Amino acid sequence: MKYDIAIVGGGPAGLSAAYSASKNGAKVVLFEKDPSFGHNVRTSGVSWIKEIEQFGIPKEFYNPIKNFSFVSPNNEISISGHEYTACVLDIKKTYQFLAIKAAKEGSELFVRSNVFDIKKNLEGKINGLKVSTPKGIVEIDSTLIIDASGFNSFISRKMGYAPLWQRYGVGAEYECYCDKINQETLFLLVGQKYSNAGYAWIFPLSDNLVRIGVGMGRPESTIDPLNKLNYIMENKLYPLNKMGKIQPIEVHYGMIPNEGLRKSFVYNGLMMIGDTAGQANPLVLEGIRYAIEFGQLAGKIGAKSLIYDSTMDSLEDYEYSCKKLLEKKILASLKVQSRWLALSDLDWDKEIDIIKDLTIDEFLDFIKSDFSNYKMMKLALNHPKLVARQLFNLVWSIRK
């Protein structure tokens, strides 16, 4: 079986790459190891409406958010907007929407198909895959392989291009029925009370459906986030004690890289996208918007590279564009995250007072890691508090 581009992984990055590459004339095949797209939810699904609308995702696939509450062990602040800015995605519907878009453009999609080995030519360039599918074992030849296998980075590790992630976030969450929830308000819960090295969250999907989870940083903590989550649920820690009856109906578990971008993520015949490339916001560990954006870019550049046999040189515009848009944002976020991981509960009680002074637009720029030079200078001028200046100066040192 011969294809122009073979994609490993049917998450938002892989499906977006398949759609874009097919739209640009490439013959594309994609392999997903799960029985269906979005079958195993590994993300809390938070994203931003402006970006999601640009990707064409329908409004019925997400719950809009306009209020944000931060809760520490002995403090709470809220920031409210007049407009809906964030959202919580229905992951299964969103992934299947992306799969249908790719299929309509001509991508050939395989589910329950596990890529177990790679093929190389005499020069050592990857040029094919061996796959276990519902139709049996198949071998395919391809000019370009796109590794969208996620945190595991199977193809890139097999080639020796990508080591295992050493710093990463691991999260566990329950999707729950809930009696009382404000579906317009998102909660982030910080401090040791809620997470030993990270944060907990309450993300509403509707007026009676909510995701409650805990994230932990590795190697800062070795605690299983599911154990912490069970403790929070069983003891109904605030604000769960205000939510009435809470009944889990699903459990989700996942990991996300937390080191920044890979040093390199294009090679002869190979591109990395999504979590494989480290395209995630480390401040709040969200990456769906980046996965879709840079998946589409990878598909477009990958299709154009075919006439050059998809050499590294023909793919480097993808890496250059990604680093230009993301690298400084991610480095700045890692600095802020490093500060946050060192905070005690008492420190957190004081820290969230910094956030309280931000306008809704400033808060959104901050939490989305949109640390442009202009915005950071404006923040420093508008917020003269010493502690706030220290936080912003931490980010500013990276922007220079």
| Domain definitions of the chain by residue range | 2-42+91-164+260-327, 47-89+166-257, 332-399
pLDDT in tens, the chain (400 residues): 999 999 999 999 999 999 999 999 999 999 999 999 999 888 889 999 999 999 999 999 999 999 999 999 999 999 998 999 999 999 999 999 999 999 999 999 999 999 999 999 999 999 999 999 999 999 999 999 999 999 999 999 999 999 999 999 999 999 999 999 999 999 999 999 999 999 999 999 999 999 999 999 999 999 999 999 999 999 999 999 999 999 999 999 999 999 999 999 999 999 999 999 999 887 776 789 999 999 999 999 999 999 999 999 999 999 999 999 998 888 878 877 887 888 899 989 988 887 777 788 878 877 776 666 666 666 666 665 544 555 555 444 444 4
Core vs surface per residue 225-245: b (16+ CB within 10 A) or e: bbebbeebbeeebeebeebee
Amino acid at residue number 199: Y
Give the Cα separation of 108 and 99 in Å (integer): 10
* DSSP-derived pairing of the beta strands 185-190 and 67-72: parallel
- CATH numeric code, 2-42+91-164+260-327: 3.50.50.60
**Equal CATH topology for 2-42+91-164+260-327 and 47-89+166-257:** no
The CATH number for 47-89+166-257, chosen from 3.40.50.300, 3.60.15.10, 2.60.40.3120, 3.30.9.10, is 3.30.9.10
Per 3-state DSSP, the chain is made up of helix, strand and coil in percentages (nearest 5) of: 40, 30, 30
Give the Cα separation of 336 and 330 in Å (integer): 10
Cis peptide before 73 (omega within 30 of 0): no
pTM here is 0.93
